[in-house]
Amino acid sequence: MDMREIAKLAGVSSATVSRVINGSSLVRPETVERVRKVIDEVKFFPNNSATTLKYGRSGTYGLIIPDITNPFFPEFIKSFEGIVVENDQEMLMATTDFHSGRMQQSIRRMLIRKVDGVALLASEIETEPFEDLIQNRVPLVTMDRGHIGNGLSDVAINNKSGMDQALRHLKDLRHKKIGYIGGFAGLTISDHRVEAFMRALKRVDIVPRPEFIKVGNYRITGGMTAMTELLSLKDRPTAVLAANDLTAIGGMRAAMKMGFSIPGDLSIIGFDDIDMSDIVHPPLTTLRLSRHELAKVFFDALEHLKSNPHAQGEQLSVKTSLVVRESTGPAPKRSV
C-alpha cells in the first residue's frame, strides 16, 4: 500500500494525501477526515524519512508518558533523552494524560515516524495499538505490565522490596493501623503496587483493613481527597503509604488542614523520591526510584531489541530504596 493507492481509495490526489500526512493547513477539514479514515482502515504507516528508506532505521526512539505534570516524568525524560543523545540518536515524545484515545494517537504518530523503538511508561494501552507496534516489528519496552514476547520487553518496579522496607520502618515505629492511597483503579501499575502493599502488611503480621485502602489519581488532588476520607474514619490509620510522592504531598496537606500533626499524629510515606519531596514541610519519607537507572534500563532494552529483531524480550527489574526523612515518626501513644 502506497500513497497513490490511498489517494485512489479516498478519491483525492497523491499530493493531497501527502499534505494530510504532513499536517498541511491547505486541505479542507472534510477531505482531511476522509483521507485519515482511509489511512486508519488500511493501517497505512507512511515513511517520511529518506534515511529510513535507505537504512531501515530512523535514529529516533519514541517515549510515551502518562502525565507531564508529575515531576517524576520530566526527571525521567531528562535522563532518557540525555542517554539517547549521547548515543547520537533522537527522541520523539508524547503524553497521554491517562486517556487511551491519546495513547492510540501517540502510537500511530510513532509508527508514522518509523521510530526504532518505543519506551512506554503509560499503562492505559489498548490491545489494538499494542498489536500495531508488534505487527510492525517496532521494539517495545513497557513498564510494570508483566508481559514479554518477540520484540517486547518489560521493566518491573520491585514493589516488594520497597513495600517491605517501608512497612518494617513503620512497624519499628510501633504503627499497627496503616493505610494506603493508590493510583487509578484498573491500571496495571496501580494494581501491582497495592497488591505489594497488602502482601507486605501480612509479612509484618498486620491484618489488612479494606477501609484503609483508598483510590487516588497520582496527583495532589487525589491525595487530598483520599486522605480526608481516611482521617474522617472513627478508627483512623496512624500511618499512610501513598502510590507516589504527589499523592503523599496532597495527603500531608489535607491532614494538616484538618489539624493533624505530621509526624506526631500521622506518618506518611511516598513513592518515587521526586526533587520536591525533600523540600516540602516536613521533608517526605519516600521510596526512591532512580530515574537515571530506570532510563538506562529502558534504553539498553530498546537497543538490545533493535539489534536482535527476532529475540525474545526480557523481564527486567528496577529496585527501590527507603529514604527516611521527617514525615514518619513513632505511632501516637493512644494507638499503641
Please report, for the domain that includes residue 173, its CATH number. Answer: 3.40.50.2300
List phi, psi (to 5°) of 215. Answer: -95, 135
Q: Is residue 304 part of a domain?
A: yes
Domain containing residue 165 = 159-289+321-335
If asked whether residues 274 and 172 sit together in one domain, one would say yes
Q: Please name every residue paired with 119 in a beta bridge, in sequence order, or none if there are none.
A: 63, 141
Q: Is residue 89 part of a domain?
A: yes
pLDDT score recorded for residue 161? 94
End-to-end CA distance of the chain: 71
Q: Is residue 50 part of a domain?
A: no
Sheet holding 267-272, edge to edge: 213-214, 178-181, 239-242, 267-272, 285-288, 321-323
pLDDT score recorded for residue 270? 98
Q: Is residue 129 part of a domain?
A: yes
Q: Is residue 49 part of a domain?
A: no
If asked whether residues 164 and 260 sit together in one domain, one would say yes
List phi, psi (to 5°) of 260. Answer: -90, 145
Global confidence as pTM:
0.81
The position carrying cell 533522537 is 90
How is residue 331 annotated by DSSP? P
If asked whether residues 131 and 280 sit together in one domain, one would say no
Q: Is residue 102 part of a domain?
A: yes
If asked whether residues 98 and 134 sit together in one domain, one would say yes
With beta carbons less than 8 A apart as the criterion, state whether 179 and 214 touch. Answer: yes
What's the total number of domains in the chain? Answer: 3
Closest alpha carbon to 74 in 121, 123, 130: 121
CB within 8 Å of 71: residues ≥ 6 apart: 245, 246, 274, 275, 276
How many Å separate Cα 259 from the centre of its chain?
33
pLDDT in tens, the chain (336 residues): 677 888 899 999 988 887 887 666 678 889 999 998 998 888 777 655 544 544 456 789 999 999 999 999 999 999 999 999 998 889 999 999 888 788 888 898 899 888 999 999 987 655 455 778 888 899 999 999 888 999 999 999 999 999 999 999 999 999 999 999 999 988 888 999 999 999 999 999 999 999 999 999 999 999 999 999 999 999 999 999 999 999 999 999 999 999 999 999 999 999 999 999 999 999 999 999 999 999 999 999 999 999 998 889 999 999 999 999 999 999 998 755
pLDDT score recorded for residue 22? 64
If asked whether residues 189 and 330 sit together in one domain, one would say yes
If asked whether residues 1 and 70 sit together in one domain, one would say no
pLDDT score recorded for residue 309? 85
Q: Is residue 305 part of a domain?
A: yes
If asked whether residues 38 and 75 sit together in one domain, one would say no
Specify the DSSP element, H or E, that contains 161: helix 159-172
User: What does 248-315 look like in DSSP terms, one character per residue?
Assistant: HHHHHHHHHHTT--TTTT-EEEEEE--GGGGTSSSPPEEEE--HHHHHHHHHHHHHHHHH-TTPBP-E
If asked whether residues 152 and 163 sit together in one domain, one would say no
* Cell numbers that stand for 153 in this block: 520487553
If asked whether residues 185 and 73 sit together in one domain, one would say no
CATH of the domain at 19: 1.10.260.40
CB within 8 Å of 111: residues ≥ 6 apart: 45, 132, 133, 136, 138
If asked whether residues 224 and 297 sit together in one domain, one would say no
If asked whether residues 131 and 109 sit together in one domain, one would say yes
CB within 8 Å of 232: residues ≥ 6 apart: none
d(CA 282, CA 285): 9
If asked whether residues 237 and 259 sit together in one domain, one would say yes
